[in-house]
Structure 1
């Protein structure tokens, strides 16, 4: 590990800086789109402001550069790098829905070593270092125990049935359909950080994430692993920052989730015109 400071010291610094953005985050709720990034994706002026501010403060106080969602940054696979999503759940945030927050992870040669998920609108702060435990508002959370899918709420990523990307829309719908046969308690929060943090704390038994960006997934993946959960991709391969999806869950529930997903076969078979 090539970190310039002790991990606990870095965690303390990062926590203080995220705390410092609380008032601005709360005051900005309802901010409209400032930059359109795609058909269903945009950034608000608050996204840009918070990323600039936190990137400067983190580098000034830790000497570690930042790779953010809005402005990019250094290679995530080389040395220590902070990876930042200033507002996860931007659409929720802009609409006034409180399921939004700030995600921050510290990577060392591409491997998450610290994870922070701040949910200012509901007063929750999740932190973890490698090996755990995770903390919620400074209090250690019990490690995850084995549980069944049938007795669990499951977070589910967004989908558009017309999507033809890495994970076709029809494939996502089929996962949802088959999953609902086992667990009728499916939740769609519209914020990856919430799905992963709540999986780590045991509120959810697991979650399925179709996004692949490190700024969305790194902090939460570390939280789940630090809590004793299992984190893979849709194919069951161990999750890394290069993974194209995330399946995270408590022991037991994770195996059941993968069984549901693997029974559907190759996602490419669900592209329009190829569905069996």
Structure 2
């Protein structure tokens, strides 16, 4: 099969995936409230689960139908490589904790991963109506506008970010996050620590911020942003500087002009 054939098929698929993700976004938007939902952990978890179930009810079948033979990665908090073939890696409410707490940073994401390489992604922000898309080899876009990463070359002028992948990560990861923030506060200009990862990565792809790193391999929070940043001209690696894949244990997406300097700061911590 020629390399042009998968690209052409993926480009044709994009409109169907975009429509499905936007429809799912309307479901998540209908569930949003101007007040916090839940005060105890059990209540918060129940609200998060209800969001996921409501969105998946309208998103799963359209995606599987749009790509016959594709499979579904069931656990959105799972990491590591997937078996060969095509998989949908979806976060029905990326930034679910923000949604439940009446904050604005949440989205619906769907990414087609082929043989552990993200090849198509759609990230829809229901509150603003913005839709970020990318197809491998076809660039990254915000609606119809091409995205391009930052042209910065001075880490000292860089706006960077990180965050945790899940609430129950181990203490070693939490310590690394803290050490990395301290190190980057000294080396860079400003550090944002927030969730979810995808919401930070769309800013890297759009050139609004300059780098994002994470000490985690949770696929659903990284695959969409990895493709968007790469297709916008960014550099996506692990914290050893090797090309990132779903099997990588950590993650860095950065503007090319500051990638090496960012690695110099973070690789001793990883």
TM tier relative to shorter chain: 0.7 to 0.9
Residue matched to 1:22? 25
Out of 30, 34, 48, the position equivalent to 2:53 is 48
The 1:112–1:177 alpha-carbon spacing in structure 2 relative to 1, beyond 3 Å, is same
Cα distance change, pair 237–134 in 1 and its aligned pair in 2 (3 A): same
Cα deviation 1:192-240 (Å, max 9, x = unaligned):
1111111111111011122312111111101111111111122222110
Q: Is the 8 A contact 1:32 1:44 kept in 2?
A: no
Post-superposition shift, 1:40? 8.8
Query: Which one of 225, 232, 239 corresponds to residue 227 of structure 1?
Result: 232
Higher helix share: 2
CA–CA separation in structure 2 for the residues paired with 1:209 and 1:71: 14
Instruction: Decide which of 135, 138, 156 is 2:144's aligned counterpart.
Output: 138
For 1:110-153, what per-residue CA distance to the aligned partner results, in whole angstroms no more than 9, with x for missing partners? 11111221121232211111124211022112355353222221
Contact (CA 8 Å) 2:7, 2:136: kept in 1 or not?
A: no
Runs of 4+ in 1 over 4 A off after TM superposition: 1-5, 30-33, 39-42
Task: Name the counterpart of 1:262.
Answer: 267
Q: TM-score, normalised by structure 2?
A: 0.84
State the SS of the aligned residue for 2:155.
coil
Alpha-carbon offset, residue 93 of structure 1: 0.9
Aligned to 2:122: 116
> Where does residue 209 of structure 2 map in the other structure?
204
In 1, the alpha carbon distance for the partners of 2:122 and 2:11 equals 12
Give the gaps of 5 or more residues in structure 1: 268-276
Report 1 or 2 for greater relative contact order, CA contacts < 8 Å, sequence distance ≥ 6. Answer: 2
Give yes or no for contact 2:198–2:221 (8 Å, CA) kept in 1. Answer: yes
Per the TM alignment, residue 89 of structure 1 is displaced from its structure 2 partner at its CA by: 1.0
Structure 1 residues 61-72: aligned runs within 5 Å: 61-63=66-68, 64-69=70-75
Say if 1:147 and 1:117 are closer, same or farther in 2 by CA, change over 3 A.
farther
The answer on 1:129 being equivalent to 2:145 is no
* RMSD, aligned α-carbons: 3.1
2:247 alignment partner in structure 1: 242
Q: Number of residue pairs matched?
A: 259
TM-score (norm 1): 0.83
Instruction: Work out whether 1:188 is the aligned partner of 2:210.
Output: no
Task: Tell me which residue corresponds to 1:98.
Answer: 104
CA distance in 2, matches of 1:147, 1:126: 25
1:154 aligns with 2:157: no
